[in-house]
């Protein structure tokens, strides 16, 4: 009995040694484990992360999210545009079409040639056509100063050269040949005129020539006073000058050939007291070329 007890105690003491041996045989050693007799290397110290430098403060404001335009907002909406958005009141025969008046567009083109404060010098030439026996050739000059784009003052003068008409030449020739001709002698003939006028440009427009360019033009009215010089012819053929006050009205059409040059067409109707009574009213039609001084900066 005593012998069995000793064997039992020996067996119990040997069990932990057997369990440790089996565990050692089943689990292989780790790869980084040091071999027998070698010391385990010390682990390198972990590197600390470098400190990130602080960013300098910026004055630039933070970017705001892009805002949608009103058109994009409307187009992105779920509903479609209705007639009420344009002022149309739907409701039968009495519906109001306010949108039609709102869509009316008036366009005023900008003037390319500005005249305010500028001086205009003109050379003019034309005819005085309302005389059966003489055709007067008119030649002169004019000066304009523009107070505004529409208002100007003009000083104008011209000298007239009487030319014999075909009617006068026929009558004189028949008389020289002994026929029933007449001696043509006018008691008063126009020789020169000068006037001071106000010019009102009441219409401004543009016209196209052959679809290549646009030319500006002005249409204005003239109202002036001045003097005329006439020649008085006596029965014996003696001539004497005569001066008389005159008034005139007219119109001027100007085509701008650029910022400096102007082509102008003038019409003038003169009124003055004729020698011996009555009123003379000659007409002057002229064409001229004008030069405008530099515009005011």
Residues 10-39 have a mean pLDDT of 56
Q: pLDDT at residue 75 above 50?
A: no
CATH architecture, domain 119-292: Beta Barrel (2.40)
Encode pLDDT of 237-278 as tens digits: 677 899 999 999 999 999 999 889 999 999 999 999 988 888
For 156, half-sphere exposure in the C-beta direction (CA atoms, 13 angstrom radius) is 34
Looking at every residue in the chain, the average pLDDT score rounds to 75
Domain ranges of the chain: 119-292
> Which band of pLDDT confidence, cut at 50, 70 and 90, is reported for residue 146?
very high
- Region 80-103: what's the mean pLDDT? 55
Helix or strand holding residue 166 (H, E)? helix 166-176
CA distance 288 to 282: 19
pTM above 0.75, yes or no: no
Q: Cα–Cα distances in Å, from 202 out to 92, 152, 238, 253, 293?
A: 46, 12, 47, 11, 22
Task: Tell me the C-alpha distance between 266 and 272, whole Å.
Answer: 19
- Asked whether residue 284 carries a pLDDT value surpassing 90, the answer given is yes
């Amino acid at each position: 009995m005593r012998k069995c007890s000793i064997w039992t105690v020996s067996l119990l003491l040997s069990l932990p040694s057997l369990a440790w041996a089996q565990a050692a045989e089943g689990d292989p050693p780790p790869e980084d484990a040091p071999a027998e007799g070698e010391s385990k290397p010390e682990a390198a110290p972990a590197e600390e992360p470098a400190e990130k430098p602080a960013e300098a403060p910026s004055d630039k404001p933070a970017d705001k999210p892009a805002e949608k335009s009103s058109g994009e907002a409307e187009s992105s909406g779920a509903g479609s545009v209705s007639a009420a958005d344009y002022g149309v009141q739907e409701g039968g025969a009495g519906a109001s079409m306010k949108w039609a008046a709102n869509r009316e567009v008036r366009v005023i083109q900008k003037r390319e040639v500005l005249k305010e404060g500028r001086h205009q010098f003109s050379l003019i030439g034309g005819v005085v056509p309302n005389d059966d026996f003489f055709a007067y050739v008119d030649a002169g000059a004019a000066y304009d100063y523009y107070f505004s784009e529409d208002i100007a003052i003009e000083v104008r003068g011209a000298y007239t050269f009487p030319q014999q008409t075909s009617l006068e030449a026929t009558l004189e020739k028949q008389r020289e040949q002994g026929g029933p001709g007449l001696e043509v002698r006018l008691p008063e003939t126009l020789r020169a005129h000068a006037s001071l006028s106000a010019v009102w440009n009441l219409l401004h427009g543009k016209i196209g020539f052959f679809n290549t360019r646009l030319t500006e033009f002005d249409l204005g009215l003239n109202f002036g006073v001045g003097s005329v010089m006439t020649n008085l012819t006596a029965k014996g053929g003696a001539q004497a000058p005569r001066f008389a006050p005159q008034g005139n009205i007219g119109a001027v059409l100007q085509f701008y050939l650029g910022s400096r040059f102007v082509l102008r067409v003038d019409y003038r109707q003169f009124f003055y007291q004729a020698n011996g009574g009555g009123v003379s009213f000659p007409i002057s039609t002229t064409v001229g070329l004008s030069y405008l001084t530099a515009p005011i900066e």
